[in-house]
Amino acid sequence: MDLIVQKFGGTSLSDEQSRRHVLRHINRELEAGTHLVVVVSAMGRSGEPYATDSLLELARLNGDALPQRERDLLLSCGEIISATLLCSLLCAEGIAAVALTGGQAGIFTDGRYGSARITEIKTERLNMHLSEGKVVIVAGFQGMTPDGEATTLGRGGSDTSATALGAALNARIVDIYTDVDGILTADPRWVNDARPLSAVSYEEICNMAQNGAKVIHPRAVEIAMKAGIPVRVRSTFSDGEGTLVTHAQVLRTQGIWFDKTVTGLAHVRGVTQLAVINRDGPADVQLRVFRAMASHGISVDFINVMPTGVHYTVLANDSQTAIGLLRELGFEPTVRDGCAKVSVIGGGMNGEPGVMAVIVEALTNAGIPILQSADSNTTIWVLISEHQLAEALQSLHTAFGLHLTPAREI
């Protein structure tokens, strides 16, 4: 059976005009004889009645008394509303459709309310409706425990529902429809000549998503990568092909891999750098620092451990707690607030000499000090002062010629 999964985000479903675009993409695939599973997110953004943020506000009434189980039950409603509304639109057009909750679609999860993991997808019911010729609309962002309790998958989780369904049903492709044309070489709000990318590898998009690009949830990519299911990130509001995401090897054999050393930039703002110097103090300083952070659920980054002390970063939200913990341990950290982390990402940089030299040269010429750096085989991260972020992104974008990224060629 030729099957694709389409996922529509909240802004694609929020008004009548947007939903007409959704209908157009559904009709185009049906006319080509494709079977469809359509995953939906909650409608609209914060402040709009059925958006997840609005439901979260309801959950917080009564002094946060709502238990986790009931909170998930409430949050799951946003996607159920979208699924039923889309079903009514399709039925009105004479298209056979059925709307299912995550649980009804056979998506089983563990019992971690608010951040449940998918453990299994039972596809019998999905296959039954598909073989009846129906479009199967599934409420994203949710599943069900083996005991039948509704769970949610964490913010942005409907991307994960889509790729997990794609993997379970062996879909030809998972199309993630959103309000941008695809993945760009950098955030266009910061870099005015950012260019759309025709293709990126799973590793590259994972790095982008983990480092601040909000275009797709990293867990969704991991699931697609494991199953080898291609993903496309594309706009609901145009007919553009968007950005294809698959294995680098597949892109190369299809001749659509540009073999660029650097593919794109991503960034995270609101980072605080902490340095604990320990020249003559206790030998177990490293262990005590990182244990304290871990036991308070503070995620650490840019970790640099030396015999004389440790440097690392935390998100600004966590910085006061982190500083308090360090003081409790008897350390007086040096604190640098207002930092930003810039990631230079490219599947082709592995073993390629000179990438760091280009970064250092571009930033030095722009008068931007590098406060810390780190690297992996597909990414180099630099920590800079946030007030220089726009300039840093623009100079790196130019230095790597990303403004010359060719238009889609397939």
- Looking at this protein, which amino acid is placed at residue 408? R
Residue located via tokens 């605080």: 272
Nearest distance from C-beta of residue 1 to Mg ion, angstroms: 27
Residue with Cβ nearer Mg ion (156 or 218): 156
Instruction: Kindly indicate which of the ranges 154-162, 168-176, 270-278, 314-322 contains the residues binding ligand ASP, using the contact rule CB under 6 A.
Output: 154-162
Residue with Cβ nearer ligand ASP (177 or 381): 177
Instruction: Kindly indicate which of the ranges 124-132, 150-158, 202-210, 292-300 contains the residues binding ligand ASP, using the contact rule CB under 6 A.
Output: 150-158
Residue with Cβ nearer ligand ASP (74 or 366): 74
Q: Tell me, residue by residue from 105 to 144, as one string, x for binding to ligand ASP by CB under 6 A and - for no binding.
A: -----------------------------------xx---
- Residue 278 in the binding site for ligand ASP (CB under 6 A): no
Nearest distance from C-beta of residue 86 to Mg ion, angstroms: 16
d(CA 126, CA 138): 9
- Residue 11 in the binding site for ligand ASP (CB under 6 A): no
The reply, when asked if residue 204 is annotated as ligand binding, is: no
Nearest distance from C-beta of residue 160 to ligand ASP, angstroms: 8
Find which of Mg ion, ligand ASP, none residue 166 binds, CB within 5 to 8 Å per kind: none
Instruction: Kindly indicate which of the ranges 64-72, 155-163, 178-186, 349-357 contains the residues binding ligand ASP, using the contact rule CB under 6 A.
Output: 155-163
Nearest distance from C-beta of residue 317 to ligand ASP, angstroms: 18
Region of residue 86 (phi > 0: left; psi between -120 and 50: alpha; otherwise: beta): alpha
The reply, when asked if residue 405 is annotated as ligand binding, is: no
- Token pair in block for residue 127: 């296959």
Nearest distance from C-beta of residue 25 to Mg ion, angstroms: 17
- Residue 52 in the binding site for ligand ASP (CB under 6 A): yes
Residue with Cβ nearer Mg ion (106 or 156): 156
SS (H, E, C) the chain: CCEEEEEECHHHHCCHHHHHHHHHHHHHHHHCCCEEEEEECCCCCCCCCCCHHHHHHHHHHHHHCCCHHHHHHHHCHHHHHHHHHHHHHHHHCCCCEEEECCCCCCEEECCCCCCCCEEEECCHHHHHHHHCCCEEEEECCEEECCCCCEEECCCCCHHHHHHHHHHHCCCCEEEEEECCCCCECCCCCCCCCCCECCEEEHHHHHHHHHCCCCCCCHHHHHHHHHHCCCEEEEECCCCCCCEEEECHHHHHHCCCCCCCCCCEEEEEEEEEEEEEECCCCCCCHHHHHHHHHHHCCCCCEEEEEECCEEEEEEEHHHHHHHHHHHHHCCCCCEEEEEEEEEEEECCCCCCCCCHHHHHHHHHHHCCCCCCEEEECCCEEEEEEEHHHHHHHHHHHHHHCCHHHCCCCCC
Residue 380 CB coordination number (10 Å): 20
Subset of residues 53 to 92 that bind ligand ASP, contact rule: CB under 6 A: 78
Binding site for Mg ion (CB under 5 A): 156
- Residue 157 in the binding site for ligand ASP (CB under 6 A): yes
Find which of ligand ASP, Mg ion, none residue 42 binds, CB within 5 to 8 Å per kind: ligand ASP
d(CA 46, CA 25): 26
The reply, when asked if residue 187 is annotated as ligand binding, is: no
Find which of ligand ASP, Mg ion, none residue 242 binds, CB within 5 to 8 Å per kind: none
Find which of ligand ASP, Mg ion, none residue 52 binds, CB within 5 to 8 Å per kind: ligand ASP
Nearest distance from C-beta of residue 56 to ligand ASP, angstroms: 9
Find which of ligand ASP, Mg ion, none residue 343 binds, CB within 5 to 8 Å per kind: none
- Residue 156 in the binding site for ligand ASP (CB under 6 A): yes
Residue with Cβ nearer ligand ASP (101 or 278): 101
Binding site for ligand ASP (CB under 6 A): 10, 41-42, 52, 78, 140-141, 155-159
